[in-house]
Amino acid sequence: MRIAAIAHFLRRFLLGWLLAMPLLSAPAPAAGLDPALLAPLTGDDTDAKLRAIAALGQLPDPGAAAVLQALGNDQLYATAEGRVLIGDGARATDAATGAAVDLPAEAGAISINNRLRRAIEAALAGSRLYSADARERLAAARRLQQTGDPARLPMLEKALAAEKHDEVRGALEIAVANLELKSADPKVRRHAVELLGRTGNPAFRPTLAAIAQQSGGPQTEPDAAVREAASHALRQIDRHLATIEWAGNLFYGISLGSVLLLAALGLAITFGLMGVINMAHGELLMIGAYVTYVAQTLFRAWLPGWMDWYVLAALPLAFIVTALVGMALERTVIRWLYGRPLETLLATWGISLMLMQGVRTLFGAQNVEVGNPGWMSGGITVLDGLVLTYNRLVIIGFALFVVFLVWALLNHTRLGLFVRAITQNRRMADCVGVPTGRVDMLAFGLGSGIAGLAGVALSQLGNVGPDLGRAYIVDSFMVVVLGGVGQLAGTVIAALGLGGVNKFLEPYAGAVMAKITILALIVLFVQKRPQGLFAPRGRSVE
């Protein structure tokens, strides 16, 4: 008996399941819009159309946004029966029911004028506040920050109450504050002023300044508490701008210091090891930059799909080419001029002129453009206004990486041991079997190769031309002298310090006076401490 009851229950369950399956698998009917709301769009009354467009913009319904988008793109049709259809070729969607239908031949496109187009743009911004994409909601909120229609305040407050994304909430709060400034209630206006001040956005400064005005013109704000709040908000914005300026100067100072570090690092090795004043060092930077340009040209012609990686190929090429040029320069000219600084200076200056003229002959006198790869384009926005560009961030990291490699080479390789020995006491190193001539050549090649790497970095910050190296040769020597001849740590500190000081002085003294001031400070410093920040060690100091 019990088994029969169970079998009967199973038969009833299976029968019910089979009957319910078509209902479960059938699609749910699409949500539509009220036909009475769409009806004015089919008429000729512009004011009625404007009211309908505004009402659609306040609906939290994707269908309303679709109707507005279709109307703005001339894809909204009306039939003789008064139905509104969103047409796309031969197929259409009924705006009232959401059902897919064939577009009737007699359906006519609903025409709009420029006034209606402006209303559609504003209404779309409102309807997109309910989009599932946070980026669309953010763009809509920023668009509504420019509106002055107080009728939009309830819609914005409703969207703000439902918004969970922090950045979108901030944009909506600004839009609400802009409209609250027109309120008749002083408490509401004060709340709006305080909110605008907390944003730190300089775009609101003229509005707040007009509210805070107490003399020199008619008062735009009768309430003293609101004026005081506006003055406080102005101070908040000014402090925020000062913070952004300070952080920007710090970032660009570190960026400039990284470039100076790369430019001066090779010079610190050659000048510290051999005491050679190499006036052609700037032209080695230029050669490295032109090698990057050649690599970019070859990748564009032969490997266009790998264009984002041409910089990585240019790094070893620039190092090898400039190292070979430096070793050739040392073997043919400089080795005969050791101990004769004036002759070395004049000879290397002449070589620098020859290298510049050679580049002009090969590539022309005009600057050439070297573009950033995709992964070095753009930047990160911090503090609501400061953009940390990717190319400068990469150069800062690359400079630190090169410093680490040079430190490892000088302290943990046989070549580094020989270089340190010759730097401390050349005669003693020669007596114990160190091949000083060969080490001189390799050290000069190393310093020149690092200059080539600096040229690759410089090519990512601006155009490349024959005079590129001239802008950095004097600064490189200042870094070496300030840091201490042959001292790696001193070179790093001096380069970053000079870059930072230069960027902080430029807004007050100008670019030229900033460099003159830095030069004067270095001269005074060297008068008191000729050995630089870090004194060299060894018997050669004596």
> What whole-number distance in Å separates Cα of residue 369 and Cα of residue 349?
27
Q: What is the pLDDT of residue 309?
A: 93
Which of helix, strand or coil describes residue 13? helix
Q: How confident is the model at residue 531 (pLDDT cuts 50, 70, 90)?
A: confident
> What whole-number distance in Å separates Cα of residue 323 and Cα of residue 328?
8
pLDDT digits over 30-81, tens only? 346 778 888 888 887 888 888 888 788 777 777 777 888 888 888 888 887 7
For residues 481-490, give the mean pLDDT.
79
pLDDT digits over 230-283, tens only? 899 999 999 999 999 899 999 999 998 998 998 888 888 887 667 788 889 999
Q: How confident is the model at residue 215 (pLDDT cuts 50, 70, 90)?
A: low
For residues 412-416, give the mean pLDDT.
91
pLDDT(216) > 60: no
Q: What is the pLDDT of residue 487?
A: 75
For residues 394-418, give the mean pLDDT.
92
Distances (CA, A) of 341 to 11, 218, 278, 351, 459: 107, 72, 10, 15, 31
pLDDT(16) > 50: no
Q: What's the 3-state SS for 144-197?
A: HCCCCCHHHHHHHHHHHHHCCCHHHHHHHHHHHHHHHCCCCCHHHHHHHHHHHH
The CA-to-CA distance between both ends of the chain, in Å, stands at 116
Which of helix, strand or coil describes residue 428? helix
Tokens of 123: 């209404």
Poorest-confidence range of 25-39, 172-186, 332-346?
Answer: 25-39
pLDDT(285) > 90: yes
pLDDT(214) > 80: no
Provide the sign of the torsion angle of the four alpha carbons 466, 467, 468, 470, taken in this order. positive
Q: What is the pLDDT of residue 414?
A: 92
pLDDT(11) > 60: no
> What whole-number distance in Å separates Cα of residue 386 and Cα of residue 243?
10
Q: How confident is the model at residue 297 (pLDDT cuts 50, 70, 90)?
A: very high
**Segment of 5-9, 113-117, 399-403, 522-526 carrying the highest mean pLDDT:** 399-403
Q: How confident is the model at residue 326 (pLDDT cuts 50, 70, 90)?
A: very high
pLDDT(305) > 70: yes
For residues 215-226, give the mean pLDDT.
70
**Segment of 49-58, 204-213, 402-411 carrying the highest mean pLDDT:** 402-411
The CB-side HSE value for 232 (13 A sphere, CA atoms) comes to: 13
Which residues, in sequence order, are bridge partners of residue 87?
A: 92
Poorest-confidence range of 9-18, 268-277, 312-321?
Answer: 9-18
Q: How confident is the model at residue 135 (pLDDT cuts 50, 70, 90)?
A: confident
Distances (CA, A) of 300 to 304, 375, 471: 5, 17, 29
Nearest Cα residue to 425 out of 536, 270, 330, 277: 536
CA 191 to chain centre: 33
pLDDT digits over 371-400, tens only? 899 899 888 988 777 889 999 999 999 999
Nearest Cα residue to 159 out of 174, 146, 149: 174
CB neighbours of 279 closer than 8 A, spacing ≥ 6? 345, 348, 349, 351, 352, 473
Distances (CA, A) of 384 to 134, 205, 493, 523: 18, 15, 30, 40
Radius of gyration of the chain from its Cα atoms, rounded to whole angstroms = 36
Q: How confident is the model at residue 4 (pLDDT cuts 50, 70, 90)?
A: low
pLDDT(518) > 60: yes
pLDDT(223) > 80: yes
pLDDT(528) > 60: yes
* Residue 129 burial (10 A CB sphere; 0-12, 13-18, 19+): buried
Question: Higher pLDDT residue, 488 or 31?
Answer: 488
Q: How confident is the model at residue 5 (pLDDT cuts 50, 70, 90)?
A: low
Nearest Cα residue to 182 out of 194, 171, 193: 193
> What whole-number distance in Å separates Cα of residue 394 and Cα of residue 379?
11
Nearest Cα residue to 453 out of 299, 267, 275: 267
Phi-psi region of 322 (alpha: psi -120 to 50; beta: other; left: phi over 0): alpha
Give me the count of residues in the chain. 542
Q: How confident is the model at residue 87 (pLDDT cuts 50, 70, 90)?
A: confident
Whose structure tokens read 């259809």? 85
pLDDT(533) > 60: yes
pLDDT digits over 176-186, tens only? 888 888 888 88
Q: What is the pLDDT of residue 178?
A: 80
pLDDT(311) > 90: yes
Question: Higher pLDDT residue, 324 or 522?
Answer: 324
pLDDT(296) > 70: yes
Q: How confident is the model at residue 521 (pLDDT cuts 50, 70, 90)?
A: confident
For residues 343-367, give the mean pLDDT.
92
List alpha helices for 460-510, DSSP H: 470-483, 488-509
Mean of the per-residue pLDDT values of the chain? 82
For residues 116-122, give the mean pLDDT.
80
